């Protein structure tokens, strides 16, 4: 616990902590939702995954989760299917989308 022991400041703690959260959200987010929020935020749509700001990833994730929560059960996709984006998953975040 580096933050609670004073080894990290608040900004460093948030930067370190957001990485796994961002990777999780990207694995669960549909490409069309990312593209919608990239368009709304005037961000480049063909940007590499690593360049997509959290201000785009987070609302795209939430919209997808809300859609899944209220979708008829027959239409829900499996959570174990891995990355739902056409972009490389977070593990491949240095590569551009195809």
Residue 37 resides in a domain: yes
pLDDT of residue 96: 40
- Mean of pLDDT over the chain: 80
Residue 63 resides in a domain: yes
Residue 62 resides in a domain: yes
Residue 45 resides in a domain: yes
Residue 12 resides in a domain: no
- pLDDT digits 0-9 by tens, 44-84: 987 898 899 999 999 999 999 999 999 887 555 544 344 55
Cβ-proximal residues to 72 (8 Å cutoff; 6+ apart), any chain: none
pLDDT of residue 71: 85
Residue 40 resides in a domain: yes
Total number of domains constituting the chain? 1
Angstrom distance (rounded) from CA 80 to CA 28: 10
Angstrom distance (rounded) from CA 65 to CA 27: 12
Residue 75 resides in a domain: no
pLDDT of residue 81: 43
- Kindly tell me if the per-residue pLDDT of 34 is higher than 50: yes
List the domain range (segments joined by +) for residue 47: 29-67+84-98
Q: What is the arithmetic mean of pLDDT over 33-44? A: 95
Residue 55 resides in a domain: yes
Q: Could you tell me the two tokens for 6?
A: 């004073």
């Amino acid at each position: 616990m580096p933050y609670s022991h004073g080894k990290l400041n608040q900004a460093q703690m948030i930067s370190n902590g957001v990485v796994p959260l961002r990777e999780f959200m990207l694995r669960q987010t549909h490409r069309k939702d990312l593209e919608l929020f990239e368009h709304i935020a005037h961000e480049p749509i063909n940007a590499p995954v690593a360049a997509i700001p959290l201000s785009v990833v987070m609302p795209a994730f939430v919209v997808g989760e809300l859609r899944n929560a209220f979708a008829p059960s027959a239409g829900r996709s499996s959570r174990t299917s891995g990355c739902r984006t056409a972009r490389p998953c977070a593990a491949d975040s240095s590569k551009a989308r195809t």
